[in-house]
Amino acid sequence: MKRCFTPLLAGLVLAAASLTTQAAEVQVAVAANFTAPMQKIAAGFEKDTGHKALLAFGATGKLYAQIKNGAPFEVFLAADDKTPARLEAEGDAVPGSRFTYAIGALVLWSAKPGLVDAQGEVLQKGKFNHLAIANPKTAPYGAAAVATLTKLGLFNVLQSKFVTGENIAQAHQFIVTENAELGFIALSQVMIDGQLADGSAWIVPAHLHEPIRQDAVILTRGQDQPAAQALIDYLKGEKAKGIIQSYGYAL
C-alpha cells in the first residue's frame, strides 16, 4: 500500500524532524540561591526552545571544584562574579561568554513573625541561640553574611552561635526546621512574585557587603553545544528577566 504525502504534510514532517534533531540537553551547574527561579526559567526554556536544561545545584565553591575535577557541566550560573572569571582565566570557560545575570540581596530572616525587626537590631540584642549562615569559604552569600557582621562589629560576638550550612539552601533549611531561630540567606529564597514569605526579615543594606554580582558563563564543554548558547541567550531575554526580578534580584 502506497503512502501519499501532500506538500503541506511533507513540510510538517520535515519541520518536526528538524526540531527533534535540533533539540538538545544542556548540563547546568547552578548556585543554590538561584534554585527556584532557575527551575522556572528552565521550564520556560524547554517550552520555548525545545532544549532541556539539566540542573545541578550547590555552593559556588563546590561547583567550581567539581568543574575542575571534570564534572560534565556546560553552563555555570555562579553566586558571584569572581569564580566564573577565574574559570575563564584558567581556560575552563569560553572567553566572552560571561555576563551578570542577576545581582543578589542578602536578608536576615526568621520563620517566626516579629523576631527580626526591620533594622536588624535583633543582632545587637543577641537574644537567640543559633544564627544560620552558609559556609563563607564556598558560598558567596555566606561570605556576605560574614562581611556584614564584621562591619557591624558583631562577628566575634556572634560567631559561637553560628550554625553553618554547606550552602545557602541548607542554611535556609536550618531556619525552616527551627535548628536556628534566624539566619542570613538570599532574599530570593523568601521572595515570590515580589512578596516576602511569612516570618520576619531585615533586608541587609548593600553597603554592608560587596555587591553580590552573579555571573553566568559557558564552560569549555559547552563551547560547541547550541543548547548552551541558547540558554545563555534565553537568560538575557525578557521572560527570564521577569522571573529573576520577581525573586528579588536586581538586573
* pLDDT of 162: 98
Helix axes 140-151, 168-176, angle to 10 degrees: 70
Instruction: Please indicate whether residue 46 or residue 192 has the higher confidence score (pLDDT).
Output: 46
Q: Which fold has domain 23-103+212-246?
A: D-Maltodextrin-Binding Protein; domain 2 (3.40.190)
Asked whether this chain's domains 23-103+212-246 and 105-208 adopt the same fold, the reply is: yes
Widest pairwise Cα distance in the chain: 85
pLDDT tens sequence across 166-209: 999 999 999 999 999 999 999 999 987 778 889 999 999 999 99
Query: In whole angstroms, what is the distance from residue 65 CA to residue 131 CA?
Result: 27
C-beta pairs of 155-162 under 8 Å, 24+ apart in sequence: 157/126, 158/123, 158/126, 158/131, 161/126, 161/128, 161/129, 161/130, 161/131, 162/130, 162/131, 162/132, 162/133
- Where do the domains of the chain lie? 23-103+212-246, 105-208
Could you tell me how many residues make up the chain? 251
| Range name among 3-17, 26-40, 113-127, 196-210 with the lowest pLDDT average | 3-17
Across the range 17-40, mean pLDDT stands at: 84
Q: Cell numbers 559556588 correspond to what residue?
A: 60
Distances (CA, A) of 212 to 60, 79, 190, 222: 12, 7, 17, 25
What's the whole-number average pLDDT of the chain? 92
User: Looking at domain 105-208, does it have CATH number 3.40.50.720?
Assistant: no
